Amino acid sequence: MELVLGIESTCDETGVALVRGRELVADVVASSMQEHARFGGIVPEVASRAHLEALVPTLHEALSRSGHTLGDVDAIAVAAGPGLVGSLTVGVAAAKALALALDRPLYGVNHVIGHAAVDELVHGPFPERTMALVVSGGHTSLLLVEDIATGVTELGRTLDDAAGEAFDKVGRLLNLPYPGGPQVDRLAREGDACAIAFPRALTAPKDRQRHAYNFSFSGLKTAVARWIEACEDSGRAVPVADVAASFAAAVADVLVTKTLDACERHEVDTVVIGGGFSANSQLRERAMNAGANRGIDVRIPPLKYCTDNGAMIAALGSALVARGVKPSAWTMGVDSSMSLETVSV
């Protein structure tokens, strides 16, 4: 099977990996998260410069761990979108240079679909029809996957804040360090998830018809802000752990319910959950339990595959090579808002 080199540079992680078939040969990630922490969020220019500095050393480290040289690589895959334009450009420019110098085929792939594809490295090939929920700081998307390389249909997406984005914003409301998501998740494990009845957006009967597969977390974030404000105005101490637990439960309930409902409506019995937010403990627990109750197989990759990494790009590139999909043109550009039905450029 062909050895595929994958490059990921959509946001604040520089990832390089090598995959042969569905076997991960090497995976190295360099994160610039600490450089953004003092700003309380991702700064695109800082992210781009971090990719410029990290990409070549990360590539060398991946090759060293794999025991291969560049000459052994059969194809190159790179995240071409969606993501930050400057960050994407660094990765695509590097991939083009390598593909041209090595005379190897180049595949510009969809970063979001890669979050689903990486699961094949862990749990094996997908069934003929699979539901994929991709949840991260920038994306909350529900995808019907008939073939990870050629047949992906977007059923729904977030209408405002993504799940991970909402967690980071609530983290700021609770005065937690950046990034807020992992901090909220940690506190949620210590609190009472039933303490506060936060809303479950787009789950009312009228919304289930119009927005059966869409998500919305902006109103939930606002509800948390108003609750904290009312608590402080009354002179009471904010029960941080209970707020975190109740908020996390509201997010997990909506994600799990809508995803499993979609599985039943489309007669799909396997769901894959990927993306940075799939590391959330409440989401993982509720999804596994609810899936077992409904007879739906829930597949969630290990934590190391949840955040952005080169393995997910190489895995999707390997699937494209195996299906004989035409490589991308040398004129391929980046697309910060790439359609989730575009698997490869």
Tell me how far apart the alpha carbons of residues 316 and 7 are, in angstroms, rounded to a whole number: 11
pLDDT tens per residue, range 182-211: 899 999 999 999 999 999 988 888 887 789
Q: Is the pLDDT of residue 142 over 80?
A: yes
Which residue spans within 170-310 are E strands per DSSP? Answer: 270-274, 297-299
Looking at residue 38, its pLDDT comes to 80
Sign of CA dihedral 310, 316, 319, 320: negative
Tell me how far apart the alpha carbons of residues 50 and 287 are, in angstroms, rounded to a whole number: 35
Looking at residue 60, its pLDDT comes to 98
Q: What is the Cα 160 distance to its own chain's centre?
A: 16
Starting at the edge strand that comes first in sequence, how are the strands of the sheet with 151-157 ordered?
151-157, 140-147, 130-135, 270-274, 297-299
Closest CA to 214 of 148, 246, 258: 258
Q: Which residues share a beta bridge with 31?
A: 13
Tell me how far apart the alpha carbons of residues 78 and 330 are, in angstroms, rounded to a whole number: 13
HEC string of 154-196 equals: EEEEECCCCHHHHHHHHHHHCCCCCCHHHHHHHHHCCCCCCCC
Q: What percent of the chain has pLDDT over 90?
A: 84
pLDDT tens per residue, range 234-247: 999 999 999 999 99
pLDDT tens per residue, range 78-124: 999 999 999 999 999 999 999 999 999 999 999 999 999 999 999 99
Cis bond before residue 205 (omega within 30° of 0): no
Tell me how far apart the alpha carbons of residues 345 and 322 are, in angstroms, rounded to a whole number: 16
Number of other CB atoms surrounding residue 33 within 10 Å: 15
Q: How confident is the model at residue 40 (pLDDT cuts 50, 70, 90)?
A: confident
Structural domains in the chain plus CATH codes: 3-118+309-322 (3.30.420.40), 128-303 (3.30.420.40)
Amino acid identity, position 130: T
Specify whether the CB–CB gap between 71 and 316 falls below 8 A. Answer: no
Mean pLDDT of all residues belonging to the chain: 94
Cβ neighbours of residue 23 closer than 8 Å, sequence gap 6 or more: 121
Show the tokens assigned to 175: 């005065």
Q: Is the pLDDT of residue 37 over 80?
A: no
Show the tokens assigned to 83: 């993501």
